[in-house]
Structure 1
Amino acid sequence: MNRSKILLLFVALLVTFSSCDTNNIADTNQTMPSRNWSYANKVKVVVDIKDISKPFNIYFKLRHTADYRYANIFVLFNVKSVQKKRNRRYEFKLAQADGQWNGSGSGNLYTYTFPLLTNFKFPAPGKYELELEQNMRDNPLKEISDVGIKVVSVN
């Protein structure tokens, strides 16, 4: 191979591996200590919204082990701004009636990405704190490995 072909290959690889999703506004994952998600262990992310004409999709990301006891999960999702707080309770189905997990599996872990808000427009420019907390009867909720929030700009 001559130098120009090697250089071209290097540039192509650099562009391929350095490209990022510019639509992601936030993408967080929080590992739960000892795989226990307690009420006090809320997952938070702050987003700074400048253009309120843009819609956003907001997702709940979850990973649990095969030893998780339930076929569902309840969470509270809060959107806080300086002026207002809005919250909503969600239930997500994690398994089928026969016990088969709905998430994608890798070893003993199952991964999910659930929509919380789609095509959501923030009411005013500014900083918003997005917060997730588990809302099950068990505290802590055992066998939850990771929880996250993802915010994507819809173009």
Structure 2
Amino acid sequence: MHKFLLILAACLLLSSCDDDAVFHEFKELPGSWQRDSAVVFKLQAPDTLQPYNAFITLRNDNTYAFSNLFLITQMQFPNGKTVTDTLEYMMAEPDGSWLGEGFGDLKESKLWYKENIRFNEAGTYQFKVMQAMRRNGDINAIPELNGIRDVGLRIERIKE
């Protein structure tokens, strides 16, 4: 019986492997996401000839008080060039039910970041993700954003 369970567990682990991802890392946020706190990921350039898709992955819980999310992202190339984007994502349906996958009060969302990108410079790329949520009528971002537990970056090969 033990051998059967061990073989079953090994099969499940191997079948759950994700061959498309060349990079996927989560960073846990300590309590709330501070306005001036960037989540930073560093990545060695994968194959410089192949195109990739990049995603922001988030885990949120029921304490997240908004139906959308604004992020500011920066992609810094090995030569120092930086590309900055402001992105908006829907986090909930109009009826208030959370988008994303998961059970209970924790949902994981895979959000498009960049499509068909090439890492044509060898070296280390740096990605920064910052929250830019504000309340209606406010100019400044919310100082502490609650309900986002983890922020991730995922780079996938494009299937042909």
- What residue in structure 1 maps to residue 145 of structure 2? 141
Corresponding residue for residue 49 of structure 1: 45
2:11 is the counterpart of 1:26: no
Partner in structure 2 of residue 72 of structure 1: 68
Asked if the contact 1:55/1:120 (under 8 Å) is kept, the reply is: yes
* 1:129 match: secondary structure: strand
Which piece of structure 1 moves more, 111-120 or 84-93?
A: 111-120
Residue ranges of structure 1 left out of the alignment (5+ in a row)? 1-5
The one-character-per-residue Cα deviations of 1:40-98 (angstroms, maximum 9, x if unpaired) are 43222212125321011111111111121111000111111232011101000011222
Closer, same or farther in 2 for the Cα pair 1:13/1:97, shift >3 Å?
A: closer
Query: Matched residue of 1:104: which SS?
Result: coil
- Structure possessing the higher radius of gyration over alpha carbons: 1
Q: Give yes or no for the alignment of 1:126 onto 2:123.
A: yes
How many residues get paired?
Answer: 149
TM-score (normalised: structure 2): 0.79
Q: Which residue of 1 aligns with 2:56?
A: 60
Most deviating of 130-139 and 83-92: 130-139
- Cα distance in 1 between the residues matched to 2:9 and 2:60: 34
> 1:91-114 deviations in whole A, cap 9, x for unaligned?
000112222222224211122111
Contact 1:59/1:115 (<8 A) preserved: yes
What is the root-mean-square deviation of aligned Cα atoms in Å?
2.5
Kindly provide the amino acid, as one letter, of the partner of residue 125 in structure 2: Y
Higher relative strand content: 1
* Partner of residue 156, structure 2: 152
What TM-score does the superposition give when structure 1 sets the normalisation length? Answer: 0.81
Q: Is the 2:77–2:121 contact (alpha carbons within 8 Å) kept by the matching residues of 1?
A: no
Which of residues 83, 87, 96 is equivalent to 1:86?
Answer: 83
